[in-house]
Amino acid sequence: MTKKLNKAQLEKLVELLKWNQELGCYTRQAFENAVWPEISSQAVWLVFFDVDGMKELNSRGSWDETSALIKRSIVMRSSDYVAGQVLSGDEFVVAISNNSKRDMLDPRGLCQRILANFNKEGASATFAFGKITSTDLQENLRPLKDLVQAAKQENRRGTINFI
């Protein structure tokens, strides 16, 4: 027997599918399909980062503890940064847009702040950022992912790289 959801239950389910409460950011699907189309014309910078040593972090504690550590580390001011996204369990992207509440756009400062937060927690992340050149998210993201992957292969974890 299938139970039909009422409107409030359906709205709550849709909201849960868009927002990852454990990590405090949009889900990949919500970011790609709802957030990015709305903000891509105002977005100026894209930041991609990969949390270093997720397997080791998970072995130090539970998945819930690791999620809480990540959530504490990536906390962002809503007036500064439009959206965050989980690409996989340890990959995130942040779109930085023009915002009248901010004097300047500072992707390096954001990376430094998040990295410092991870370091305080005994963790690390590897970053790449670049100017947005297209409204196609994947076109902007691909070179950043490549930079992070190259940094990790060259044993330069915990670095901030830029295009």
Structure confidence by residue, pLDDT tens digits, 125-150: 999 999 999 999 999 999 999 999 99
DSSP 35: I
Range of the domain at 150: 19-162
- Residue 71 binned pLDDT confidence (cut-offs 50, 70, 90): confident
- Residue 46 binned pLDDT confidence (cut-offs 50, 70, 90): very high
Q: Is the pLDDT of residue 82 over 50?
A: no
- The contacts of residue 109 (CB under 8 Å, 6+ apart) are none
By CB neighbour count within 10 A (0-12 exposed, 13-18 middle, 19+ buried), where does 59 fall? exposed
Q: Domains in the chain: how many in total?
A: 1
Residue 49 lies in a domain: yes
Residue 13 lies in a domain: no
pLDDT of residue 143: 97
Give the orientation angle of helix 107-120 with respect to helix 63-73, to 10 degrees: 140
- The contacts of residue 35 (CB under 8 Å, 6+ apart) are 26, 82, 83, 85, 95
pLDDT of residue 149: 95
Spatial separation of the C-alpha atoms in residues 115 and 130, rounded to whole Å: 17
**Mean pLDDT score of the chain, rounded to an integer?**
83
What CATH number should be reported for the domain holding residue 24? 3.30.70.270
- In the numeric block, which tokens belong to residue 109? 């400062």
Residue 23's Cβ-side half-sphere holds a number of Cα atoms within 13 Å equal to 23
> Which residue in the block uniquely carries the two structure tokens 């950043």?
144
DSSP 143: H
Residue 6 lies in a domain: no
Q: Is the pLDDT of residue 84 over 60?
A: no
- Which range among 30-39, 77-86, 115-124 shows the weakest confidence by mean pLDDT? 77-86
DSSP 48: E
pLDDT of residue 106: 85
- Residue 80 binned pLDDT confidence (cut-offs 50, 70, 90): very low
Summarised one tens digit per residue, pLDDT across range 3-45 is 676 777 666 666 656 777 787 788 888 888 888 888 888 889 9
Which pTM does this prediction carry? Answer: 0.84
Spatial separation of the C-alpha atoms in residues 163 and 7, rounded to whole Å: 46
Residue 48 lies in a domain: yes
Got the DSSP string for 107-123?
A: HHHHHHHHHHHHHHTT-
Residue 132 lies in a domain: yes
